[in-house]
Each structure stands twice: as structure tokens, then as C-alpha cells.
């Protein structure tokens, strides 16, 4: 497994089980240290900027500490390492529809069932679906059906830690990360699962990345028609935003047919 002291899943332990949470990396999108809790997000965001209300309406924060995206209005796509197997589960609350997690307009819906990627063992196949008790009336995020969008610059967004070992964030933040090819990424991570994992980040300088609390959240970009499409799921990496250590994401296009079949099984 990559969930070791060195190769950390981008998770936040919020319960007896260390589960993952989606948010931006230290530099990727974080409020400055002098921003007081409960204050509006300041202008000092390291490597990212606050998202506007409604900019990414498909974003979901999960109560166990993960992020996710609305695959359908009643199914959340997240990381396999965020959940503990498959089956009925009403313990997770999905929060959506807001950039401020304390906004009274936030929509909160409980889970009913989880479907973890078949065969997931901690390496590769890092995707899972969470069925919700009722639909969330927000736009969904389509997933890439092939690898044609697996290059260029990607967007990451979330509520996670503002730095390695930092606090989770109240406000949704966003940043851009460039594609890193498999050969280059494998030199940083020899155990990269090529074809199942996709890398992105600023190799030379670091400073922009996903981090603990970001797991399960989407990495996405525009297609040729200008529509946002999900190409990755936040998975793991060495620390956060370190030079030479890009973030590693589940390669969504590889599992697109499996994800869609699983969603059909859940009744999405």
C-alpha cells in the first residue's frame, strides 16, 4: 500500500479510522495563517484563490473528512481509501451547494449505500461511489470517457489542509496544476501504477498541490466545447506541494465504464 509514512494518502483522520478529506493543498489553496477562524477568506491565498459561490456547484464535502463530486444528483464520486468497503451505510453526510461550509444555505444529505472499487487493495483503483438518500439539486460533473483530456492544466478545488499538517478550511479554494507525464512521475514515485494513476503539479517549484483533506475530490478541466470534465480523483503523494513530488490522482478515464456500471447498480 502507498498509505505509508512516506507515500501518504491525502487524508485527514476524523474518526477512529483514518479517512480522507478533500481540500486544497498547502499552497494550492489556503487561507493565510493570519486569517482568523470564521473570518471571510482574505486576499493572502498561497498558490490559489477563493472559489466564487456557484463556480463549482458539483463540489461535495463529506462528513468523514473527504471531498467528492456529484456524478449524478444522488451519487457522489470519491476515493476508495475514503470509505471502508461496500454496503449499506447511513453514517456519511454530504454537504453541497455552498463555498462556505457554515453557510445556512448548505444542502446536507445522508448516505444510504457505498460501493468501493472492486478489488481495491490500497494500490490503484482508488475510486468509490456514495449513494445519497435524496438528490441534491446542483449540476453534476461529467467524467472523462477516454484519455484525450489527460494533459494540459487542471483545476483542483476543496476545503482541506492549508499546508502540510495544517487545518482544514471553511471556504472552498481553487488552484491550477500542470500535467506531469508518467515517465517523469515514475522517477519521483517508482510505485506509480501507470494507466491507473495520473500526476499533476509544479515539479520545479512546488507550491501548488492537493493535500491532507483533499482525498476523493475531483481534478478537472475544460473539454473542446468549454465544458468541465473530471479527469482525476485526489489520491496520494509525498507530503504536499514539495518540489519534485507531484500529486497523484486516480486516472478517471481508465475506470469510466466501471464507474458508470457501478452507478447504474446503485440506481443513479
Which among 23, 30, 69, 81 is annotated as catalytic? 81
Measured distance CA(260)–CA(250) in Å, rounded: 15
43 is an active site residue: no
Q: Catalytic site residue 167? A: no
CA 39 to CA 154: how far, in whole Å?
29
b/e string for 230-247 if b means 16 or more Cβ within 10 A? bbbbbbbbbbbbbeebbb
Residue 265 carries which DSSP code?
Answer: H
Q: What is the helix, strand, coil percentage profile of the chain, to 5? A: 10, 35, 55
* Residue among 23, 27, 30, 215 flagged as catalytic: 215
Which one of 126, 162, 209, 214 is the catalytic residue? 126
Distance in angstroms (rounded) separating the CA atoms of residues 184 and 188: 7
SS3 64: coil
Does the active-site annotation cover 7?
no
- Closest residue by Cα to residue 210 from 47, 40, 2: 47
* Secondary structure (3-state) at 195: coil
Pairwise CA distance, residues 99 & 126, whole Å: 26
Q: How many Cβ atoms from other residues are within 10 Å of residue 26's Cβ?
A: 27
What cell numbers appear for 83 in the block? 470509505
H or E element, residue 130: strand 128-132
> How many residues in the chain?
268
Written as nine digits, the cell of 244 is 519534485
Let me know: does 133 contact 111? Beta carbons within 8 Å: yes
Catalytic positions, written as ranges: 81, 126, 215
Amino acid at each position: 500500500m502507498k498509505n505509508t509514512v512516506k507515500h501518504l494518502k491525502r487524508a485527514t483522520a476524523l474518526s477512529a479510522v483514518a479517512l480522507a478529506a478533500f481540500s486544497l493543498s498547502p499552497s494550492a489553496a489556503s487561507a493565510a495563517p493570519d486569517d482568523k477562524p470564521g473570518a471571510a477568506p482574505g486576499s493572502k491565498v498561497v498558490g490559489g484563490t477563493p472559489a466564487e459561490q456557484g463556480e463549482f456547484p458539483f463540489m461535495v464535502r463529506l462528513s468523514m473528512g473527504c471531498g467528492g463530486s456529484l456524478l449524478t444528483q444522488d451519487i457522489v464520486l470519491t476515493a476508495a481509501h475514503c470509505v471502508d468497503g461496500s454496503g449499506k451505510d447511513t453514517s456519511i453526510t454530504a454537504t453541497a451547494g455552498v463555498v462556505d461550509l457554515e453557510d445556512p444555505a448548505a444542502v446536507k444529505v445522508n448516505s444510504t449505500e457505498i460501493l468501493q472499487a472492486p478489488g481495491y487493495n490500497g494500490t490503484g483503483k482508488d475510486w468509490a461511489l456514495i449513494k445519497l438518500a435524496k438528490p441534491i439539486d446542483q449540476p453534476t460533473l461529467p467524467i472523462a470517457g477516454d484519455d484525450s483530456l489527460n494533459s494540459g492544466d487542471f483545476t483542483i478545488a476543496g476545503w482541506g489542509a492549508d499546508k502540510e499538517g495544517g487545518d482544514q478550511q471553511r471556504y472552498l479554494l481553487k488552484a491550477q496544476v500542470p500535467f506531469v507525464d508518467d515517465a517523469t512521475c515514475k522517477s519521483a514515485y517508482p510505485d506509480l501504477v501507470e494507466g491507473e494513476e495520473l500526476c499533476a503539479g509544479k515539479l520545479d517549484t512546488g507550491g501548488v498541490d492537493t493535500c491532507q483533506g483533499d482525498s476523493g475530490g475531483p481534478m478537472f478541466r475544460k473539454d473542446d466545447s468549454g465544458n468541465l470534465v473530471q479527469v482525476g480523483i485526489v489520491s496520494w503523494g509525498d507530503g504536499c506541494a514539495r518540489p519534485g513530488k507531484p500529486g497523484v490522482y486516480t486516472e478517471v478515464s481508465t475506470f469510466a465504464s466501471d464507474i458508470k456500471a457501478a452507478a447504474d447498480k446503485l440506481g443513479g
